[in-house]
Amino acid sequence: MEDFFNKIKESFTNTTLEFETINIKVDSIDWIDTHKKLKDGFNLKFFSWLSAVDWDNDVSVGEAPKESVSPNFEIITCLSDLANTNLITVSTKIDKSDPKIESLVEIYGGANWHEREAYEMFGINFENHPNLEKLYLPDGYEGNPMLKSFELISREVKPWPGEVDVEGMPEESGSDKSPDG
Amino acid sequence: MVNTLDPQNMNNFSEASVSIEIETEDMTLNIGPQHPSTHGVLRLVAKVDGEKVHDVKPVLGYMHRGYEKLAEVRSYPQITTLVNRIDWVAGFSNEIPFIAGAERLMEIEVPERAKHIRLILNEMARISSHFVFNGAYALEVGALTPIFYAMEDRERVLDLIESVTGGRFHPNFNRIGGVKPAAGAGPTSKKNIQDLPAGFYRDTKVAMEKVIKAADQFQNLIGGNEVFKKRTKNVGILTPEIAEAYGVSGPILRASGVKSDLRTHTDYLPYDQFDFEIPVGENGDCYDRWDVRVKEMVESAKIVLQAIDSMPSGPLQAKVPKVIKVPKGRTYVRAENPKGEMGYYIISDGGLGPYRLKVRTASFSNISILPIMLEGALLPDLIAIMGSLDFVLGDVDR
């Protein structure tokens, strides 16, 4: 794994190795080239997944980032080599006002459905995708559910009682025990 | 005399009737979402030309529950309840990579005993999942009997899982830092925690020997059946190249001749302490996919038998803070689940719940090859091919 990381470092500038996973950050212009290089030059032929993250300070679900972030979409792919433990995630950031990126379907056929999912959930346009339609959501569904600004209606109607678990646990139940009761 | 069971000849027949006798039109055939062979609510829209299928479009989303979104409004301990329900045939296996990811970010060292218990239950989940496959797949290609044997044998394994966790399908047994005290263990005082129910080792030994016997029985009952062989051999061949590019994993990948098993590649559970083989297929056809799974059951049973013999003693839980906050960071933990690679990409911002949780499920990638595999297949083979992929819709739609 160390040797492999050194090889990766020679070819890519922004790389880190944590938890046995190599992370490469690239510009969105190099998205296609990076994946071609990784597939052919580094034998990372196994396409594990592709997904996106909505980075935003203004959230209506969950917690907002503790430190303020510049709003953007981060797109992440995960590739691996079946013969060994090499595992890589590649990430890039794209602008939220015009969310588009080249499709990877030509390189990894498996990207097809993952990109369709990211398209419907985040509203990211994958250019040159052969069939960019909704995957899970019904036709006519409006909005992109995975956006941080997309509200969970059930939470609006009835607030989740989860807060209770976090605040008022009785002391007697054993302070050094796990929170399972 | 032509052997009409030979798929090669059947191909010729259908071609002959199409091109010479009559002008045919493509018919659109809608299979599912309520078709018994689709293991839930998968819908296929297939164009059928006589007996030949082409241009298959899987339509997903009938089971989409939005777990990735729901996880964003829940704390880490609450999420294990959610992820249990992803692949409900092997609920226990779904918890492992998620918990391992949270533990990795929190830098918690899990006690050996807890790891062993996880490993045993994980392998039992694999066995029960493969039992379901054996019964259901035989049923799909026309053999009614095996499912009764499979369900009976599976129940024995589920009973064991239930005796430890309290749940047959949704154990919700893992805790960050270890496992919870077992359900059947009686009262738990601080000083004297009994973690596994009385007689667990004995019952497990009996059950695992039965599993090995059952696998042998399946080899004869299903694998030795001439009709089953005709229906599955050389049907739905998957090449390793396509499998890799589409992220196909697990027994399907191994049936195509790729010796790849995350149990030996990653350290989410101490599999390196045990001896087991990784069964690999040769042709990558439906028969191999069935065969690999039956052999895997035996290997899993062997792992469980070794694990209960070498069970370490010690605590079940590492020290964890009362309110679980996962430090800022991100990690991807993958695990070899019964259906293939399952993983969770956790992005934590130091809060009570993840900022983003990406769930990578095996069945999703596994069935994304359906349009390729079904191109040009015969209509009866459609069911045989679809069944051999052994997917669960909860695992596809999440």
CB contact set of B119 (below 8 Å; sequence gap of 6+): B269, B270, B271, B303, B307
B391, two tokens: 């997917």
pLDDT of residue B70: 86
User: In which residue ranges of chain A is pLDDT below 50?
Assistant: 174-175, 177-179, 181
Smallest Cα distance from A29 to chain B, Å: 22
**pLDDT computed for residue B298 by the predictor:** 93
Q: What is the DSSP string of A32-50?
A: HHHHHHHHHHS---EEEEE
- What are the tens digits of pLDDT across the range A122-171? 989 998 889 888 888 888 888 888 888 887 777 666 666 555 555 555 55
- Residue A114: Cβ-neighbour burial (10 angstroms; 0-12, 13-18, 19+): buried
Non-local (6+) Cβ contacts of B200 within 8 A are B160, B163, B164
Model pLDDT, residue B301: 92
Specify whether the backbone of B284 is left (phi greater than 0), alpha (psi in -120 to 50) or beta. left
d(CA B382, CA B53): 8
Joined together, the tokens standing for residue B339 give: 């259906």
**Inter-residue contact B240 to B254 (CB < 8 Å):** no
Q: How far apart are CA B270 and CA B257, in angstroms?
A: 25
pLDDT at A2: 75
Q: Which residue of B has its CA nearest to A62?
A: B73
Please provide residue B56's backbone torsions phi and psi, each rounded to the nearest 5 degrees: -90, 130
Tokens of B113: 């005993």
> What is the distance between the alpha carbons of residues B268 and B264, in angstroms, rounded to a whole number?
10
Residues of B in contact with A113 (CB under 8 A): 364-365, 368
Nearest residue of chain B to residue A19 (CA atoms) = B331
A62 vs B258: CB contact, 8 Å cut-off? no
Averaged confidence pLDDT in chain B: 84
B68 neighbourhood in chain A, CB within 8 Å:
121, 146
B131 burial class (0-12, 13-18, 19+ CB within 10 angstroms)?
buried
Helical ranges in B141-174 per DSSP H:
146-165
- A interface test, pick of B57, B355, B360, B391 with most A CB neighbours within 10 Å: B355
Instruction: Kindly report, residue by residue over B26-60, the tens digit of the pLDDT.
Output: 888 888 787 766 677 888 888 888 888 888 888 88
A chain contacts of residue B319, beta-carbon cutoff 8 Å: 176
- pLDDT at residue B142, rounded to an integer: 83
One-letter amino acid identity for A43? N
The tokens for B279 are: 């069964």
Which chain A positions have a beta carbon within 8 Å of B253's beta carbon? 82
CA atoms within 13 A on the CB side of B370: 28
Distance from C-alpha of B258 to C-alpha of B307, rounded to nearest angstrom: 27
CATH number 2.40.50.1020 given to A2-157:
no
Q: Which among A112, A152, A166 is the nearest to B368, CB-wise?
A: A112
CA distances from B359 to A85, A164, B42, B154, B342 (A): 20, 27, 19, 27, 8
- The token duo for B188 is 């738990």
Amino acid identity, position B129: S
What is the nearest CA distance from B249 to chain A, expressed in angstroms?
A: 9
- CA-based nearest distance B213→chain A, Å: 32
Contacts of A18 in chain B (CB under 8 A): 329, 331
Query: How does pLDDT run across B119-140, given as a tens digit for each residue?
Result: 999 999 999 999 999 888 888 8
Which of B243, B219, B214, B238 shows the shortest CA–CA distance to B229? B219
Q: Are B120 and B301 in contact (CB under 8 A)?
A: no
Element (H, E) at B359: strand B356-360
Instruction: Name the residue type at position B201.
Output: Y
Contact flag B75-A162 (C-beta cutoff 8 Å): yes
Q: Do B64 and A152 touch (CB under 8 A)?
A: no
User: According to the model, what pLDDT value does residue B12 have?
Assistant: 54
pTM given for the model: 0.83
Query: A178: which chain B residues are within 8 Å (Cβ-Cβ)?
Result: 175, 177-178, 180, 317, 320
Nearest to A45 among B70, B245, B249 (CB): B245
Question: Considering only the top CATH level, what class is B67-367?
Answer: mainly alpha
> Cβ contact (<8 Å) for A89 and B104?
no
Amino acid B293 reads R
Which residues of B fall within a CB distance of 8 Å from A133? none
Model pLDDT, residue B5: 54
Closest chain B C-alpha to A12 CA, distance in angstroms:
20
B266 to A78: CB separation less than 8 angstroms, yes or no: no
Show residues of chain B in contact with A169, CB under 8 Å.
Answer: 322
Distance, CA of B90 to CA of B83 (rounded, Å):
11
Q: Beta-strand (E) ranges in chain A? A: 14-18, 21-26, 46-55, 72-80, 87-94, 100-102, 125-127
When CB atoms are compared, the residue of B68, B331, B350 closest to A66 is: B350
The identity of residue B307, as a single letter, is A
Residue in B241, B317, B364 closest to A178 by CB:
B317
pLDDT in the model for residue B52: 86
Residue A52's pLDDT is: 92
Nearest-CB residue to B365 (from A110, A155, A175)? A110
A162 contact residues in B (CB cutoff 8 A): 73-75, 78
d(CA A59, CA B373): 42
For chain B (length 398 residues), average pLDDT per consecutive 10? 52 52 76 73 85 86 86 86 87 90 89 89 92 88 87 89 85 84 55 67 90 90 86 88 88 89 85 90 89 92 90 82 85 90 90 88 90 87 87 85
A24 CA to chain B: closest CA distance, Å? 13
- Are A49 and B258 an interchain contact pair (Cβ–Cβ within 8 Å)? no
Chain B residue numbers with beta carbons less than 8 Å from the beta carbon of A179 are 77, 175, 320, 322-324
CA nearest B135: which of B238, B36, B277? B36
The residue among A80, A93, A147 with the most chain B CBs within 10 A of its CB, best to mutate, is A80
Chain B interface test: which of A42, A49, A112, A141 (most B C-beta within 10 Å): A49
Residue B53's pLDDT is 87
Eight-class DSSP state of B322: S
- Return the CA Rg of chain A: 20
CB contact under 8 A, A155 and B66: no
CB contact under 8 A, B75 and A178: no
- 3-state SS, A78-110, equals EEECCCCCCEEEEEEEECCCCCEEECCCCCCCC
